[in-house]
Copies of this chain bind each other. A is one copy, B any other.
């Protein structure tokens, strides 16, 4: 009888370690050997759960995005429209060390996805997905009359998303652009812009 193992849980566990390592030292540090060492499993086990390095990195990104997704879901629970949107934005901006690490992993992944065609498509879908979450909140806000009537939800969502990325990216390098105060002002501004339908 084979040992019973929670396969998906193992994957998540290993993915989390991979993500941490990437955030700490980039791809150079996230070697299979190191992941094995940190996880306490053997090298063979890692390869058993992930079909090669690429899948492992992909897993790390999924774990990171999953983290954001559940955080956003929890924060927006019971909310809708502008209120939900604000929470959603707060959930993605690197307001603390943990989220900053998420962004580091994203950046590492993006830099390789920008080059490999296959990953590029996947990434585009991920973006579209995230934008759609914004868009649906915006649509509700429009219905609720919180956003200027006649506004197109999708373009607004895209712009919001772009600002979000820009804000997060620059924050990674400059302390002054990653203070909670700065982020609060910018979030206020983003919401304000939405209200104006811009």
Q: Give the distance in Å from the alpha carbon of A163 to the alpha carbon of B173 in the complex.
A: 17
| A10 in the interface (beta carbon within 8 A) | no
Residue contact A127 to B173, C-beta cutoff 8 Å: yes
Q: Mark A93-111, 1 if CB is under 8 A from B, else 0.
A: 0000000000110011011
Chain B residues near A103 (CB-CB < 8 A) = 114
- Contact residues of A: prevailing secondary structure: helix
Q: Which of A63-71, A139-147, A164-172 contacts B (4 or more CB under 8 A)?
A: A164-172
Chain B residues near A149 (CB-CB < 8 A) = none
Chain B residues near A172 (CB-CB < 8 A) = 110, 114, 120
Interchain CB contact (< 8 A) of A170 among B116, B162, B167, B192: B162
In the complex, residue of chain B having the shortest beta-carbon distance to the beta carbon of A170: B127
| A196 in the interface (beta carbon within 8 A) | yes
Q: Give the distance in Å from the alpha carbon of A130 to the alpha carbon of B189 in the complex.
A: 22
Residue contact A165 to B169, C-beta cutoff 8 Å: yes
A146: shortest Cβ distance to chain B, in Å?
17
Q: Which A residues, 76 to 120, have Cβ-Cβ distances below 8 Å to chain B?
A: 103-104, 107-108, 110-116, 120
A120: shortest Cβ distance to chain B, in Å?
5
Q: Give the distance in Å from the alpha carbon of A160 to the alpha carbon of B127 in the complex.
A: 21
Lowest 7 CB-CB distances: which A-B pairs, in order?
A: A162-B166, A165-B166, A111-B111, A166-B166, A124-B174, A124-B173, A123-B173
22 contacts between A and B (CB under 8 A): A23-B115, A24-B115, A26-B111, A26-B112, A26-B115, A107-B114, A108-B111, A108-B114, A111-B111, A114-B172, A114-B173, A124-B174, A127-B174, A158-B177, A159-B189, A162-B165, A162-B167, A163-B166, A164-B166, A166-B166, A196-B198, A198-B198
